[in-house]
């Protein structure tokens, strides 16, 4: 008899537990749901599906764009020769102090002076680096103490700049002589690479005569414009010319790139440095200047 009472008590407790069980939005059986509840669940599932597909598609688009960008960079680098930054020790790397990025190149024309395009200053305070990336004397770079503008109509900014530091840079770099151009000799361009700052770009180019560029700048005396202010080059590879790049011929610096040429252009023009020799002399820069 007591055993029977205990069994009845157990059954009553089980029935009580089952009667106290409450259904909520998530565990209510489908057949017991109202039409509104079913609509909400279908809408929730559709929203989850749409969000998931949007994330997947967005990731695919980002990946595809990144792949295209990588392919473009790779394509440009195939046609852009690079060299060690210390191969030509007169080639100065001008870095932004804020971003630490290589923004321009210049040329060491004095023991403590670098000649560059004024556009190099547009990114704010700069620091100059020369020679080895590992030498304890050179890897910290040089601060700019004096900036001297040099008027020149061959650049968009209408001026070049002479950047002078109080430190001696001859331990890291070497001076380059300035020279005049010759159509009989091949030239080459040293510049900022498409990306990175541990190498410099290098490409050969042929000087272009003004009579082959009658459409370059209509309305002006082309012969006077090209001969006095510009030195233009042709037969460029796919390596992009940047504002400030150096034009070298016979081991002499003859030009500084005036501005970045238009995409796809096979012609690039440089500021003719043969017309600023006297300006450099007035700034007490004892440069070596050779004529052809």
CATH of the domain at 128: 2.40.10.120
Rounded to two decimals, what is the model's pTM? 0.68
Task: Let me know if residue 24 belongs to a domain.
Answer: no
Task: Let me know if residue 40 belongs to a domain.
Answer: yes
Question: Both 40 and 139 in a single domain?
Answer: no
Torsion of CA 7, 8, 10, 16, to 10 degrees: 170
Question: Both 42 and 186 in a single domain?
Answer: no
Distance CA 272, CA 257 (A): 9
Task: Let me know if residue 11 belongs to a domain.
Answer: no
Q: Helix, strand or coil for residue 39? A: helix
Domain span including residue 173: 82-290
Element of type H or E holding 232: strand 230-234
Whether 182 and 292 have beta carbons less than 8 Å apart is answered as: yes
Distance CA 206, CA 235 (A): 6
Q: Give the contacts of 152 (CB within 8 A, at least 6 positions apart).
A: 158, 159, 160, 229, 271, 275, 276
Task: Let me know if residue 192 belongs to a domain.
Answer: yes
Question: Both 90 and 56 in a single domain?
Answer: no
Q: Give the contacts of 211 (CB within 8 A, at least 6 positions apart).
A: 222, 223
Question: Both 68 and 175 in a single domain?
Answer: no
Question: Both 41 and 181 in a single domain?
Answer: no
DSSP per-residue codes, 171-201: TT----EEE---TTS-EEEEE--SS-SSEEE
- Beta-strand relationship, 159-164 and 177-179: unpaired
Instruction: Please say which residue of 56, 78, 100 terminates a domain.
Output: 78
Question: Both 87 and 202 in a single domain?
Answer: yes
Task: Let me know if residue 196 belongs to a domain.
Answer: yes
Q: What is the pLDDT of residue 161?
A: 95
Element of type H or E holding 146: strand 146-151
Q: What is the pLDDT of residue 76?
A: 43
Question: Both 109 and 69 in a single domain?
Answer: no
Q: pLDDT tens track of the chain, all 292 residues?
A: 555 444 555 455 555 445 555 656 566 776 666 777 778 878 888 888 888 888 888 887 776 665 444 444 444 444 678 888 889 999 999 999 998 899 999 999 988 999 999 999 988 999 999 988 888 889 899 999 999 999 998 888 889 999 999 988 888 999 999 988 888 888 999 998 876 667 899 988 889 876 545 444 444 455 555 567 889 898 777 788 888 999 999 999 999 998 776 555 678 889 999 888 888 888 766 666 665 4
Q: What is the pLDDT of residue 26?
A: 60
Checking phi first, is residue 106 left (phi over 0); if not, alpha (psi -120 to 50) or beta?
A: beta
Question: Both 286 and 213 in a single domain?
Answer: yes
Question: Both 46 and 110 in a single domain?
Answer: no
Task: Let me know if residue 148 belongs to a domain.
Answer: yes
Distance CA 255, CA 78 (A): 26
Question: Both 264 and 125 in a single domain?
Answer: yes
Task: Let me know if residue 47 belongs to a domain.
Answer: yes
Max CA distance (Å), the chain: 128
Q: How many helices (H) and strands (E) does the chain have?
A: 4, 16
Instruction: Please say which residue of 55, 78, 101 terminates a domain.
Output: 78
Number of domains in the chain: 2
Question: Both 42 and 110 in a single domain?
Answer: no
């Amino acid at each position: 008899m007591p055993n029977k009472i205990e069994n009845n008590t157990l059954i009553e407790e089980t029935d009580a537990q089952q009667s106290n069980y409450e259904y909520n939005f998530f565990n209510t059986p489908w057949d017991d749901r109202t039409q509104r509840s079913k609509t909400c669940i279908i809408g929730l599932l559709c929203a989850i599906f749409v969000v998931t597909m949007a994330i997947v598609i967005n990731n695919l688009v980002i990946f595809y764009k990144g792949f295209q960008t990588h392919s473009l960079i790779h394509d440009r680098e195939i046609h852009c020769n690079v060299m060690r930054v210390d191969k030509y020790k007169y080639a100065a790397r001008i870095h932004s102090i804020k971003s630490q990025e290589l923004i321009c190149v210049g040329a060491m024309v004095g023991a403590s002076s670098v000649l560059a395009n004024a556009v190099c200053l547009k990114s704010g305070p700069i620091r100059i680096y020369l020679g080895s990336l590992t030498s304890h004397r050179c890897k910290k770079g040089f601060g700019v103490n004096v900036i001297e503008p040099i008027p020149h109509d061959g650049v968009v900014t209408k001026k070049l700049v002479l950047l002078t530091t109080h430190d001696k840079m001859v331990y890291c770099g070497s001076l380059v002589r300035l020279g005049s151009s010759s159509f009989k000799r091949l030239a080459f361009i040293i510049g900022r690479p498409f990306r990175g700052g541990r190498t410099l770009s290098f490409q050969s180019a042929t000087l272009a005569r003004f009579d082959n560029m009658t459409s370059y700048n209509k309305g002006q005396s082309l012969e006077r414009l090209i001969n006095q202010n510009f030195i233009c080059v042709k037969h460029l590879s796919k390596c992009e010319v940047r504002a400030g790049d150096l034009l070298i011929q016979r081991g002499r610096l003859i030009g500084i790139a005036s501005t970045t040429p238009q995409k796809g252009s096979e012609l690039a023009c440089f500021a003719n440095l043969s017309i600023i020799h006297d300006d450099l002399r007035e700034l007490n820069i004892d440069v070596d200047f050779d004529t052809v």
